[in-house]
Amino acid sequence: MAIEPGTPDRLLELAAARRTAPGEALARDAGRIVRAAGDMAERFRRGGRLITFGDGAAAADAGHVAVEFTHPVIVGKRALPAISLAGDAAALGGLAVSGGPEAVFAAQVETFGRTEDIALGVPAGERDRRVLAGLAAARELGMLTIALTTAPPGSVCDADRPPGYGDGSLGGVVADHVLAARCDDPLIAREVHVTAYHLLWELVHVLLDDPGLAPPARPAGDTAGDTTRDTAGTCVTCADTAVPVHVTELRPGGLALVETGCGTEEVSVALVEARVGDVVLVHAKEAIVVLGGDGS
């Protein structure tokens, strides 16, 4: 039966369609997300802390990220040190008066930041000078820098990125890792950001718990070795934790059979470009990133 214009079904169809391209772009950036999470895990392993900041609506995202790391919702996950610089009205107001509004995050980063720490900024674009100044201050201190930003659909990170910066720059935003929501709609872009930083949280814990997993970066045609991990007692269908599994068969409809270490289960691989032989990270029956493997 045809869906009539203006009906709830039609509105839901349109809403889903608007999110298809940004979601697919995020899936294509899976490697960038894994690399960022790997670097974050290494900083936490060295005693580093996560420092987050953002302006306007992004201030709420900065606070959300910090809470995710300091107050894990999954029983057994370790709490990791994180603070948001965007929620202290007294500090923001005082610094704006004494040093100017563009310095409010940079001044706090310079005060609290250490070389082993991580700075995660959520800039609205190249004109978001407060957040960009905070990221620049973090780079000066040698901190790991991550930017969650927005970009036009189809855009890519600059090929000629500064030396030493993992995933370069995009639209004037420079950081070790730039993770962009490729979308013109700011509300959908925020949804992409929420997904991205929840993936970072999940992956950081996986890589902290098992640093022997496959290296995040995998050149074309390269193999990442065996990343088998004991998942006994963990159900990839219903567990609220992510586990690495081996893809043994691809099925129609974006599905795959995977070997969990204690049996075979069917999961969705619609969000990733998985191949037979790959190791994928599965959360609640959904493959969220390809970790490595010898798929061909």
Radius of gyration of the chain (CA): 20
Q: Residue 169's pLDDT is what?
A: 59
Tens-place pLDDT, residues 18-66: 888 888 888 888 888 989 999 999 999 999 999 999 988 899 999 999 9
Q: Residue 82's pLDDT is what?
A: 96
| Measured distance CA(206)–CA(34) in Å, rounded | 11
Tens-place pLDDT, residues 135-189: 999 999 999 999 999 886 655 544 333 333 345 556 567 899 999 998 888 889 9
Please provide residue 101's backbone torsions phi and psi, each rounded to the nearest 5 degrees: -65, -30
78 pLDDT band (50/70/90 cuts)?
confident
279 versus 11: the higher-pLDDT residue is 279
Tell me the whole-structure pTM to 2 decimals: 0.70
Mean per-residue pLDDT, 62-80: 86
217-256: b or e for each residue (b if 16 or more CB lie within 10 Å)? ebeeeeebeebebebeebebeebebbbbbbbeeeeeeebb
The mean predicted confidence, pLDDT, of the chain is 79
Mean per-residue pLDDT, 255-259: 91
119 pLDDT band (50/70/90 cuts)?
very high
Task: Copy the structure tokens of residue 294.
Answer: 């010898």
Mean per-residue pLDDT, 107-120: 94
| Measured distance CA(36)–CA(180) in Å, rounded | 13
| Measured distance CA(65)–CA(77) in Å, rounded | 15
